[in-house]
Structure 1
Amino acid sequence: MARTRAADFDDKRRSILDSAAAVFAKLGMEHASMAQIAKENNVSKALLYHYYPSKELLLFDIGRTHLIELEAAIQKADRPDLDPPQRLRHLIGGVLENYRTASNFHQVLLNGTGSLSEAQRVELQQMERRIVKAFSDVLIEINPELGKKRAGVTPVTMSLFGILNWTYIWFKPSGALSRDGYADMVTTLFLNGVTSLNR
């Protein structure tokens, strides 16, 4: 007979993911242990293994959860009714807003997928491609030539994500620049170049 799922299963699962992402981000994927994750979450190893039978499954679910939430944030921020540059600004703002509380998850996705199976990596890559396409489509609207060039729009889009993906390292919420202000800066910098920031 199948075991009945507890009413608070999803809440406990999310709590474990939050704790695990914090441990992975602090100690690194190779050095973090399931025992340390259980201790951080104040649960037994047996309960942790009930939810996640292996560290690899835990890493995968952190990455998958982060991408699901990032894609949802981008879809929520998207404004197809606006002109393409303004729409891009909203998409950038959606990413940065998601990163506000997802720093640990983001670090795991960037640095912790090497031990995953090929099928798991492919699943995450497919999710990432959908996110990249949301930006690529708008960039082609802004500059249709990007869709015609041999190199395509992908290098341009990935350059934008290169700017956004590392903000967790240096961005300080208490600093002089707000997230909205940084979203404005990135949009202006990316569309018009560094000299436009003096205007």
Structure 2
Amino acid sequence: MARTQAKDHGEKREAILEAAARVFASEGFDRASMAALAQEAGISKANIYHYYDSKDALLFDLLDSHLKALRDRLAAVPLAGLAPPHKLQTLCTELLLAYQGADNAHRVQSAGMDHLPEAERNTLVGYQRDMVRQLSGVIAENAPDPLAQDPAKLRRITMSLFGMLNWHYMWNAGADEASRRTYGAEVAALTLGGLKAL
């Protein structure tokens, strides 16, 4: 007979993922042990194996949950009817708001993907590419014609914009919603102003 899932399974899984993000971010994936992860989550080592059969499986679920949630949140932003500059500001701000409280997962993402098998890395890269395509399309809507038709240059600008947003937590840890909204508008304005020079 199959084992039934506890009513609080989802909550415990989320607690384990949050604990794993903290441990992987502070200790590094290689040094983190399942025992340390269980202790941080406040459960027994035996119990953590009820949820994840290995540290690798936990890492993938952490990154999969993080990146899929980011991708889905950006994809759900209502952009129809907005002027192209407002679309760009909206996406920049939404991404910064989505990152709020996710600094540890973000750190793990930067260093952790190389530890995963190719098929799992490809899944995660797929989420990232979806977000890059969405943002690149909005940048193209704002760009003057030769730039909008130059895929290589458009990619460089898109990745530079992601760099400004993705590394915000490194120099502005603990930024609140208001400061994230301000910075999102500033990044969009900087990008839009810079496009004219290119």
- Scaled by the length of structure 1, the TM-score of the pair is 0.90
**Which structure 2 residues correspond to residues 115-194 of structure 1 after superposition, within 5 A?**
115-143=115-143, 144-149=145-150, 151-173=152-174, 178-193=179-194
Q: Percent identity?
A: 42
Determine if the alignment matches structure 1 residue 18 to structure 2 residue 18: yes
2:67/2:128 contact within 8 Å kept:
yes
Q: Aligned equivalents of 1:119 and 1:174: distance in 2?
A: 35
- For 1:191, the aligned partner's letter is L
The Cα offsets for residues 1-28 of structure 1, whole Å up to 9 and x where unpaired, read as: 2221111111111110000001111111
Runs of 4+ more than 4 Å apart: none
State the Cα distance separating 1:145 from its structure 2 match.
Answer: 3.3
* Structure 1, unpaired ranges of 5+: 194-199
Q: Aligned equivalents of 1:135 and 1:31: distance in 2?
A: 36
Q: Aligned equivalents of 2:141 and 2:11: distance in 1?
A: 41
The structure whose RCO (Cα within 8 Å, separation 6+) is larger is 2
Q: Aligned equivalents of 1:83 and 1:166: distance in 2?
A: 27
Q: Aligned equivalents of 1:179 and 1:59: distance in 2?
A: 28
- The verdict on how the C-alpha distance between 1:190 and 1:59 changes in structure 2, with shifts beyond 3 A counting, is same
Normalized per residue, the structure richer in helix is: 2
2:141/2:148 contact within 8 Å kept:
no
Corresponding residue number in structure 2 for 1:197: none
Q: Aligned equivalents of 1:125 and 1:21: distance in 2?
A: 19
Q: Aligned equivalents of 1:137 and 1:150: distance in 2?
A: 11
Q: Aligned equivalents of 1:173 and 1:86: distance in 2?
A: 26
1:76/1:94 contact within 8 Å kept:
no
Determine if the alignment matches structure 1 residue 74 to structure 2 residue 88: no
